Amino acid sequence: MKKVKIIKHMVLAVVIILLLPFAACKRGKTNDFVIENDIKAPPSTGLKGTTVSFDRPDGTYTKAQAESDLGVPITMTWQNTDIYNNQVRVRIPANSLSKGNIVNIDVADGTEYEISFKVRFGPNFDWSRGGKVGFGLHIGNGYTGCNKADSGLGGTARLMWYNPTGTKTNHVTTGTYFRPYVYYKDMPDDCGNDFGKRSKELKTDTWYTVKIKVKSNTGTNTDGFVYYEIDGQTLLSQAIRWTTNDDYRKIKYITFHTFRGGSQEYWEATTDGLIYYDDLVFTRIAN
């Protein structure tokens, strides 16, 4: 009888030993599964971007029409703008500086925004020295016009086209590029900083896709962010301190600025300049 019990215990021990690897595998799979499920995608803000394709009949594009398409108010004077072939076209008058269309789009306040758009310079566009082009972002009080933003009460992120040798009397056909144009608390000079960045060379009658992203900083920290991209290639990716007062840290407007200048006559051109825009998308990522 005693011998039978010993044999039973031996058989039971063998069974347990044989089952141990399977039990271990099962626990391992269970643990792996739990770990994988702990890796979660960032939660959605529930905020959707606005897309504007400007699909309207050719003709004058009024401020009221633009506000209807954008879904938000526009401040400042809307001018020199029409629709051509389902694109927005802005005319920069000849022999002018800071003339074209210079407005701010009054979007909901936010601490992080992303915008993208397409831009094309007309086939006979005179580069001259350069100017401001397209859509950008306005933080707090927003600063432009070589008014240094070192008060810590706001900033702007806009885009320029620029040619270092072009002038009103020197009609260049090569050497033009995009560069960032950024106002922020720690900017080194009175006029906007380009951080030494330039895009590939630009051509007339060619579409370019631009993306700009801005994140507000907190307090006096350099934990904000600015990002520019041209045709999928990063132009600027930079930590930044926009403000030092949280009352002014939020993004208040999307800028839509199209004009020549600079303030000196050599930024002018002797002919009207036509710039075309399409496929604007703007997204408030964070409140």
For 87-144, the pLDDT digits (tens) are 999 999 999 999 999 999 999 999 999 999 999 999 999 999 999 999 999 999 999 9
pLDDT tens for 33-71 read: 222 222 233 343 445 689 999 999 999 999 999 999 999
Structure confidence at residue 49 (pLDDT): 83
224 domain residue, yes or no:
yes
Cα angle at 154 between 149 and 158, to 5 degrees?
Answer: 80
| Whether residues 137 and 3 fall in one domain | no
Q: Which residue has the tokens 């922020």?
A: 184
| Whether residues 173 and 233 fall in one domain | yes
| Whether residues 56 and 188 fall in one domain | yes
108 domain residue, yes or no:
yes
Cα(284)–Cα(287) distance, rounded to whole angstroms? 7
Out of 11-15, 25-29, 36-40, 229-233, give the one with best mean pLDDT.
229-233
46 domain residue, yes or no:
no
- Distance from the Cα of residue 121 to its chain's centroid: 20
45 domain residue, yes or no:
no
Assess whether pLDDT exceeds 90 at residue 2: no
| Whether residues 102 and 138 fall in one domain | yes
In whole angstroms, how far apart are CA 16 and each of 20, 31, 211? 6, 22, 63
| Whether residues 1 and 104 fall in one domain | no
Q: What's 152's domain CATH number?
A: 2.60.120.200
22 domain residue, yes or no:
yes
Segment among 7-11, 161-165, 193-197 with least mean pLDDT: 7-11
- 124 is in which domain, residue-wise? 51-286
The pTM of this model reads: 0.83
What is the tally of structural domains in the chain? 2
| Whether residues 78 and 210 fall in one domain | yes
| Whether residues 101 and 22 fall in one domain | no
| Whether residues 88 and 208 fall in one domain | yes
Which of residues 2 and 217 earns the better pLDDT score? 217
| Whether residues 129 and 250 fall in one domain | yes
Please provide the average confidence, as pLDDT, over all residues in the chain. 88
Structure confidence at residue 48 (pLDDT): 62
Assess whether pLDDT exceeds 90 at residue 32: no
N-terminal to C-terminal alpha carbon distance within the chain? 80
| Whether residues 116 and 242 fall in one domain | yes
- What amino acid occupies position 268? E
| Whether residues 176 and 148 fall in one domain | yes
| Whether residues 187 and 271 fall in one domain | yes
